[in-house]
Structure 1
């Protein structure tokens, strides 16, 4: 590392240290408990510098419609050193017409066009809906035959019916954006069939060009619940969102989980201070608003148990789907890592009434641990360490985290600590030995110098190993192109 780069890295660490001191004052002002002395971070620094595991990728459009513009953008980004293109492989597009009938014609063209430009492939097995989220300019629904196929199935004593695979929220609404994790064992064969069909179509043709296979684990391809999605009212940014644990399968799983933990209903009542007369009375919060405004989600045993189960269910869902994909791919695409994405849910973090509530409704944190402790990843320990459940496997599992371009905005209405959260995840991933890559959350973030400065700081300080930019067209001209080219020149293998 030359002296100028080293000085810049040290300056980045100093900036973060100052930011942490400021954050301490912010949290103190909201009444949030502080971490114990000696529990502070040791920023890992710019570990991507010259690292052979460094990757610089771009995201393709959700659906390519202008092929000439697509080819021109590919030539531009290839010219300044981008490695690979991340491409959503939409389940609803490929297998939407009929069960086990796959149409790969569009992806044949996309993959051929990308590789002809000298770029590698990072496909996403997109088991979620396109459309309805921020930045979506294309709609692809889950296969329509899916809901009917399993409507007559009984699973864990529950007749699924037409909505049995879907999340059900505290408002009583159902989401069709992805299949709920509590139905994994019902639909796992579908994920396996799709992955096998993908591997059979491209395993020989692009054995070396597929460098990572990302796996959709929820809405927007992210490991989360659809807590702020369009099926509910008044739950979007920057609200607390809505709990998604009210389907019959979810309730059944909660009841069984609680009984496994406590052994009997009498012990449940003793722990929770309740007088439940039947296991059927165990359930998610009957009044979700009071659950948050009264701080039961963190200050009562019932609340902590519920959130632990909710978070643990999400992580277990991630593990099940990832294991299925890894096993189905077998030895094909031998150079490919497996990736999963965790969103930066950065709002409501310093809210004066229910701090960190949106991270709870999305399922990302526990509240039974110290949310202010670096040792627990500020509640993200299980989400980050999901990658370590695959230690010793044939493939490395890497975590992708979003929001690298954002600033903290701790005041009303967002109550956001986006930049701080990027550091929390980086710190814990480094402690846990998890490979960590980053993304920008919003396309506009890579069209400004301020957004790139935040990305640079994340890499200089918090151990991020790779970047995938949303989207390719935003770094094919102007500020985005200039800054990404400079970034790659700094962190690439020749650095």
Structure 2
């Protein structure tokens, strides 16, 4: 069983330890200081409706040194009317306004739904033609049907917020077509102004499963969430991977202590509540194998989509890195009933490794090292991590180690040689002095190299504007 106390002790020592033991923290320090790779960005609204206010905000943040504006390029808005019919008129206007103020662009290829998540004030569904287009397709012997591209949860519900990773090879051409259309529209016009292309890898644009989203009941913060591995494609992949790993059903039964009569009996937990309440995900070979597969599937999905985008961009936007976002799933971490369970259901951690160890990234090693799978490729891949503004709250009901988690990720990214940038998770965090103090600590201690603030309106006046201006003046080599 995972030692909750040791989690707390590891987190408590993270901020202060400098002379680290063999498996202690390795605080990188302020690597962003006068670093030419430092970036200070802001997020645009999900959809601009007040153009005059947006223009004024752009002028404000440009004046105190913001570098670029991150803009969601919604798949459902651009290609929603019909397959391979693209409408870029909104983005023509947005990009022109941003660059006219001397700011660069950090577009997000948003292959996910807007609406239904915390802070969403705009709705853009995935293209309506997508689901019926593939309903009649058979993939790996499975007839997809109308929900065949969607995640299916332990509750039996389907999520239409993004395409499940187990269907990547079915829809690769859709991601490629959209990226190539974006490149053809803007590759010449904004060749130098696009400094990073971020890629949506799941709900809210994050590398995760929709484990706490609205298609399920009772799974929101601060619950453990719900597993999302019950679609026919997911179950088939689990069976295939376990057979590949062990070689035979007999070997699987020996490892798991089971008496499965056929491969068809291999599957995700039949009783997910018992799987977590009994700590099977930590203490049994089946549980660790399942979680490893679940986490590995997510990382492999990220790799496939990122390579697709990198290949589709070709040599356009020559200065642009590729970014992916990992959410700070900070709750339920110290819950004695099921420690670290929310991170498991979102797919972010393994449980076959030592979750108390700095050497394993406290379970995050594969998610962080996704960036290194592109070493030697044509683009540098950068990881973004959220929750930089948050405090620890390791008691009921949150059981949160948000600030500790920021340190864990910074430490492991440094060990792995991964370029790491950060974001705030909630807009209110950049309206408080304490939130900015936490952001500063992340940069001073844990090696974060850039900041993207959610959203521009929260740093165009008041505390947010003052503290962001001070932050930029500290780290930017150009200020």
Cross-structure match for 1:23: 8
Is this contact kept in 1: 2:12–2:404, CA < 8 A?
A: no
**Is the counterpart of residue 439 in structure 1 residue 423 in structure 2?**
yes
Cross-structure match for 1:215: 199
Q: 1:311 aligns with which of 270, 295, 303?
A: 295
For 1:384 and 1:404, locate their aligned partners in 2 and report how far apart those are by CA, in whole Å: 16
For 1:26 and 1:98, locate their aligned partners in 2 and report how far apart those are by CA, in whole Å: 50
Q: 1:320 aligns with which of 294, 304, 318?
A: 304
Q: 2:451 aligns with which of 463, 467, 479?
A: 467
**Is the counterpart of residue 137 in structure 1 residue 121 in structure 2?**
yes
For 1:300 and 1:124, locate their aligned partners in 2 and report how far apart those are by CA, in whole Å: 39
Q: 1:110 aligns with which of 91, 94, 99?
A: 94
Q: TM-score, normalised by structure 2?
A: 0.97
Deviation at 1:353, TM superposition (A): 1.0
Q: Report Cα offsets for 1:435-494 as digits up to 9, x if no partner.
A: 000000000000000000000000000000000000000000000000000000000014
Cross-structure match for 2:251: 267
Q: Report Cα offsets for 1:171-207 as digits up to 9, x if no partner.
A: 0000000000000000000000000000000000000
Q: Describe the shift of the 1:482–1:37 C-alpha distance in structure 2 as closer, same or farther (beyond 3 A).
A: closer
For 2:92, what is the secondary structure of its paired residue? helix
For 1:323 and 1:365, locate their aligned partners in 2 and report how far apart those are by CA, in whole Å: 22
For 1:313, what is the secondary structure of its paired residue? helix
Cross-structure match for 2:407: 423
- Off by >6 Å, runs of 4+ in structure 1: 25-28
Q: 1:148 aligns with which of 132, 148, 153?
A: 132
Deviation at 1:23, TM superposition (A): 2.9
For 2:88 and 2:51, locate their aligned partners in 1 and report how far apart those are by CA, in whole Å: 17
Q: 1:388 aligns with which of 342, 356, 372?
A: 372
Deviation at 1:38, TM superposition (A): 2.7
Q: TM-score, normalised by structure 1?
A: 0.93
Is this contact kept in 1: 2:291–2:351, CA < 8 A?
A: yes
Deviation at 1:264, TM superposition (A): 0.5
Cross-structure match for 1:161: 145
For 1:305 and 1:42, locate their aligned partners in 2 and report how far apart those are by CA, in whole Å: 29
Q: Structure 2: state its 5+ residue gaps.
A: 14-19
Cross-structure match for 1:363: 347
Deviation at 1:158, TM superposition (A): 0.6
For 2:48 and 2:328, locate their aligned partners in 1 and report how far apart those are by CA, in whole Å: 27
Cross-structure match for 2:280: 296
Is this contact kept in 2: 1:27–1:350, CA < 8 A?
A: no
**Is the counterpart of residue 202 in structure 1 residue 186 in structure 2?**
yes
Q: Report Cα offsets for 1:32-85 as digits up to 9, x if no partner.
A: xxxx96311120000000000000000000000000000000000000000000
Q: Describe the shift of the 1:455–1:194 C-alpha distance in structure 2 as closer, same or farther (beyond 3 A).
A: same
Is this contact kept in 1: 2:162–2:202, CA < 8 A?
A: yes
Is this contact kept in 2: 1:158–1:249, CA < 8 A?
A: yes
Counterparts of residues 241-252 of structure 1 (less than 5 Å): 241-252=225-236
Is this contact kept in 1: 2:10–2:356, CA < 8 A?
A: no
- Structure 1 vs Structure 2 CA RMSD: 1.4
For 2:101 and 2:11, locate their aligned partners in 1 and report how far apart those are by CA, in whole Å: 48
For 2:135, what is the secondary structure of its paired residue? coil
**Is the counterpart of residue 491 in structure 1 residue 475 in structure 2?**
yes
For 1:246, what is the secondary structure of its paired residue? coil
Deviation at 1:394, TM superposition (A): 1.3
Q: Report Cα offsets for 1:89-148 as digits up to 9, x if no partner.
A: 000000000000000000000000000010000000000000000000000000000000
Cross-structure match for 2:17: none
For 2:421, what is the secondary structure of its paired residue? strand
Cross-structure match for 1:177: 161
For 1:214, what is the secondary structure of its paired residue? strand
For 1:353 and 1:333, locate their aligned partners in 2 and report how far apart those are by CA, in whole Å: 49
For 1:244 and 1:320, locate their aligned partners in 2 and report how far apart those are by CA, in whole Å: 19
Cross-structure match for 1:187: 171
Cross-structure match for 1:73: 57
Deviation at 1:405, TM superposition (A): 0.1
Aligned residue pair count: 469
